[in-house]
Amino acid sequence: MSSSLKNITIVLVILTCAVVGYYIYVQRDSFTLETADVSMEQDMFATVQEYTARRELLSKVDLKTDIFKDERLKLLVTYSEPVVPVPVGRSNPFDPITQVNTGSNN
């Protein structure tokens, strides 16, 4: 066998192995994806069923808002004081921290 024929044979064998390996790799991934898709579809179906059951339950609820139209409720007076906003934190959090003398000697 000549040298060029050996080289061509080796290259063809390597290419064939690469193509077969790639085909097996792709098939393995698609099989894994198919089983994952089935599992995901089952989870989604269960979630949709649960949502539908809750929606039906909530549609049976009848909210009566007549209490908010009652004159006694409108006459109520609040005695609370307004909350005064207090500044929180520093204006620039990236400024260096300076120590404040609290007056205690530890």
Residue 37 within any structural domain of the chain = yes
- Assess if residue 95 is contained within a domain: no
25 falls within a domain: yes
Domain residues for 48?
A: 3-59
Confidence of residue 53 (pLDDT cuts 50, 70, 90): very high
- Local confidence band at 91 (pLDDT 50, 70, 90 cut-offs): confident
Number of domains in the chain: 1
Mean pLDDT value of segment 70-94: 87
Average pLDDT over residues 13-23: 90
The per-residue pLDDT for 56 is: 92
Which of 4-8, 35-39, 54-58, 100-104 shows the lowest mean pLDDT across its residues? 100-104
pTM of the prediction? 0.32
% of the chain residues with pLDDT over 70: 83
Does residue 24 lie within any of the structural domains?
Answer: yes
Instruction: Quote the CA–CA distance of 11 and 13 in Å, as a whole number.
Output: 5
Q: Per-residue confidence at 16, pLDDT binned at 50, 70, 90?
A: very high
Cα–Cα distance, 13 to 71 (Å, whole number): 92
- Does 13 map to a domain? yes
Stated length of the chain: 106
Residue 28 maps to a domain: yes
Residue with tokens 């790799």: 25
